[in-house]
Amino acid sequence: GAVVSQHPSRVICKSGTSVKIECRSLDFQATTMFWYRQFPKQSLMLMATSNEGSKATYEQGVEKDKFLINHASLTLSTLTVTSAHPEDSSFYICSARDAGRYTEAFFGQGTRLTVV
Amino acid sequence: SQKIEQNSEALNIQEGKTATLTCNYTNYSPAYLQWYRQDPGRGPVFLLLIRENEKEKRKERLKVTFDTTLKQSLFHITASQPADSATYLCALRTGDDKIIFGKGTRLHILP
């Protein structure tokens, strides 16, 4: 199957700082990438959908100024958590859709963010 | 609102038996339904997709059924093994092209 690489896998940052998470599709072009957040023993909650070259679409309740998403190329999307607070600590997962294989999505390994 | 429910939060099955997981949805008529496996601290991995006009799909020891009248999908693992222990998620693609997930069922295969 297609490979999606997410980096870093773990990050610890201080309150008030910003953290950038990268999501790359390694062997396919991802016209659409999705960012999810997952709390322990909970489902994946969709945060936003990003399409290459256009602004991301955020789900209700997700602050777009806090979670900045950039999808500048067909293989790279980034999520920046700005002015992080301890309540932003979570597991963040990206997924990418292959334009040629439209039905399933391929997921990155996830990023465990801890804000101290 | 659209809802996906996976009835069991956790399920313990004896090794060698068949594990059956349930996914129900409401307020939606999906063209297809997907099942993913997620291991702790990892992203989900796609397993199977079943379309609305398919009643059953198989892949090795996995079998998925889809009943659009009951709005339900069943996910079976036959001859279960301890390595099958993981969280299994069902997912739907919405009309506005997003993929949304149920909470998942944590499956434990007991040796």
Contacts of A105 in chain B (CB under 8 A): 46, 99
Place of tokens 């997962």: A93
pLDDT for B52 equals: 87
B101 in A contact zone (CB under 8 Å): yes
Burial of B53 (0-12, 13-18, 19+ CB in 10 A): exposed
* The pLDDT of residue B1 is above 70: no
B104 in A contact zone (CB under 8 Å): yes
The phi and psi torsions of A65 (rounded to 5 degrees) equal -80, -15
* For B50, nearest residue in chain A (alpha carbons): A103
pLDDT tens-digit readout, B85-98: 999 999 988 777 78
* For B47, nearest residue in chain A (alpha carbons): A104
Separation in Å, CA B86 to CA A4, B83, B107: 21, 8, 5
Q: What is the largest CA-CA distance in chain B?
A: 43
CA neighbours closer than 13 Å in the CB half-sphere of residue A3: 3
pLDDT tens-digit readout, A73-87: 889 999 999 999 999
